[in-house]
Amino acid sequence: MVRKLSFFLIAINFFGVPLAQEWTFIQKQDVGQNVTSADIGSLGKLFVGTERGNVYSFQQDGTPDKHFSSAIFQPITDIDASNSLRIFAFYKSANQFEYLDRFTALPRTYQLEDFGLGRADHAALDADGTLWFLSGSTLFHVNVFNYSILSEQVLPNRVHADSITDVAVDHRIILSDMQEGIRFWDDGQLTSDIRHGGGVAAFHLSGDELVALGTQGLLITNLRTGITENFSPPLQDFNRVLKMGSVFAFVQGSQIFWYRLEE
C-alpha cells in the first residue's frame, strides 16, 4: 500500500481484571430491523445498515437524524459513512455495492462482476476512494473510477478466512478474526496481531483507537502506543459497539443502546 506505518509493539491487558468503570445509560432506539453493519460519520453521527437494506443515522446522544431507503432490499454487510457527501454500502448476498447520495438519497449501484470479481465476503473503503474486497482468502484492491483491479493478494494459510468478521482500512488492512483476534495486513504481509482472547465479533476505528467487542468483553487498543484496556460492557449480549468520545453505542438485534463511560 502507498502509505505505511512503522511497526509497533502490542501490550495486552485483557486477561486481568477489567478496569473499574461506571456506565450511564442515555437512551435506546429500535429501528425495527436487525442491524447488520454500523459506522461513525465524519461529524460524529452513528450510521447503521439493516437486514432490509435501510440506513438510519443518529446524533451522538441517540437522537434520530435521517432514514435512507435502499433500492437493494438485502442485508447491508458493510457500511462506510466517512465521506460527507455519500454513504458506501456493500451487500454480500446481492454481490453489489452502492454509493448513497446524502442529499438526494439516490443510490448508484455497482455489480462486482463488472470489476471481474466473483463473490466477496467483505468490503472496505480506503481514504483515496479505492475499495478493498475480501473474497475467501484473497484481498482485491479495486479502482472504482476505471473498473480496474489494482492488486490481488492472498492471505497466508494461518489466517482463517471463513472466520473473518470485519474488514477496515487505516493505512493497513485490518481484519477481525473470531478465532484469533485482530490482524494487520500491510504491503502484502501480516505485520502484527492483537490477540483478543477467543476472537473478535466486531470492531470499530475511532481516531487512534480500535474498539473491539469479543469473547473477552469490550477492548480498546491505542494504535499508537499499542496498549489495550479491558472494560466490562453494561450488558453481556451485545453484538456490536461503536465509540464516540466517552459515548458508546451498543447494538443488540434491532436495538441500539447509548451509554456514557464514567471512569
**Across 62-87, average pLDDT:** 90
CA–CA separation, 99 and 213 (whole Å):
28
**Contact indicator for 187, 2 with CB cutoff of 8 Å:** no
Give residue 162's pLDDT band: very low, low, confident or very high (50, 70, 90): low
Reported pTM: 0.86
Cell numbers for 67, please give them. Answer: 432514514
| Helical residues (DSSP H) of the chain, grouped into ranges | none
**Across 237-253, average pLDDT:** 92
Written as one letter, the residue type at 78 is: D
Would you identify the CATH topology of the domain 22-236+251-262? Answer: Methylamine Dehydrogenase; Chain H (2.130.10)
Q: By C-alpha distance, which of 258, 234, 229, 228 is closest to 246?
A: 258
User: Computed from CA positions of residues 33, 39, 44, 47, in that sequence, does the dihedral angle turn out positive or negative?
Assistant: negative
**Across 165-170, average pLDDT:** 77
Percent of the chain with pLDDT over 70: 86
pLDDT of 12 strictly over 70: no
> How far from each other are the two terminal CA atoms of the chain, in whole angstroms?
38
Spans of all domains in the chain: 22-236+251-262
**Across 125-141, average pLDDT:** 90
Give residue 161's pLDDT band: very low, low, confident or very high (50, 70, 90): low
More confident residue, 218 or 7: 218
**Contact indicator for 209, 234 with CB cutoff of 8 Å:** no
How much is the pLDDT for 106? 83
